Structure 1
Amino acid sequence: MTDGPRVSAAALELASGETYASGEEVFVTASVVKVDILTALLLGARDEGRDLTGAERAHAEAMIVCSDNDAATALWQVVGRAAGLDAANARLGLTRTAADARWGLTRTTAGDRVTLLRTIFAPGGKAASVLDAPARAYVRELMERVVPEQAWGVPARAPGGP
C-alpha cells in the first residue's frame, strides 16, 4: 500500500491578515527561495547601514524578475550561504525553513511561505520592525515585474499580477 499524496497549503488574506493553513509537510523550495535570498540581502545591507550596491541591485532584479539562477548564486554568496539565509529567515519568523548547501534545495513549509509573504505584503506588525517599508516595497516591485514565462504562483495572483 502506498502513502497518499503529500500536500501542504496555506493562504494569507491581506485585508484581515488571517492565515489559513493545512498540512505541515516540508518541501524543497527550488526557485521560491530566491525571495528569501533577497530579503536576507536587504536585512544584511540594513544591518551594515548601507544601500544595496549597483551589482547587488542588478543581481536582485535578474534573480526575481527573470528567475536567474546565476544571479541567485551570486547573492547566495553575499548573504553568507546557508548560515546567512538561516539567520535571516529566523529573524523573519520562518521556523520550519532550513537552508541547504545548495540554495535550491532549501526546505520549507507552506506556512513559512505565508509568513514570508506576510512580511512582504502585509503592513505593520513584526514585518515593519524586521524588514522596513522601503525594503518591502522593493521586493514587491520586483515580484510585480516577473517576466511572463516565470509568472506563476504568488505573482500571478498578487495585485498587479498578470
Structure 2
Amino acid sequence: MRLNHGGSGRSALILAMAMGRPDAAEAQHHARLARDPDQLAALRADPARLPAAIEEMVRYDGAIELAISRFTTDEITVGDVTIPGGGEVVLLAIAAADRDPARFPAPDRFDTTRATSAHLGFGHGIHYCLGAPLARMEAAVALRTLLDRCADLTLAVHPGDGLSRRRTPHWTCSPSPG
C-alpha cells in the first residue's frame, strides 16, 4: 500500500491508524520513526517501550514550538538578559527548552529509550494540557496499529528531498502478513 497526501492515501492512513482523524503531530511522529529504522525495529521488537517512545516523540518533535504569549508584570533577569516589566510580551520556546543539553543529554538525538518525563511538550503547571492523557492514548493506539499492520514502513521520499517538518509525509507501507 502506498500512502500520500491525496484523498485515497489520506483515507488509507486514517484506516491504518484506526483513528477518526489523523493529527499532523502524530504523522510527524510516525515519520520520525520511519527516518530511524533502528529505533523503529527496536520498538517493534519490544512494544513495552511504546510509552517512553511517545514521550520522546513529544519532546523531540512536539506539535507546539512556542507557548501562548505572556505579559510581564515585573522586571526579571533570565541568564544575562533582563526582561522589563510593565506588560512586555514574552514567548516561551518550548522546542528550545526540550532541546536543552543541561536537561537532556545529546538533546538533538532521537532516542526512544531516553527518560523524558520532564519535557514541556504538553506544557507545565497551570498551563498543562488537559488533553495530554488522551493524546498519549491516541498515539499509543495509532503507533501500535501502525507497527502491527505495516511490516515495512518507510518514507516514500528521502527526508532531505523537500520534506518539511510541518508537512504530512509520504509513506510506503505493505500490510503485515497474517
Same-fold call, TM cutoff 0.5: no
The structure with the greater share of residues assigned to helix is 1
Question: With structure 1 as the length reference, what TM-score do the two structures score?
Answer: 0.31
Q: Which has the larger radius of gyration?
A: 2
TM-score, normalised relative to structure 2: 0.29
Tell me: higher relative CO, structure 1 or 2? Use CA pairs within 8 A at least 6 residues apart. Answer: 2
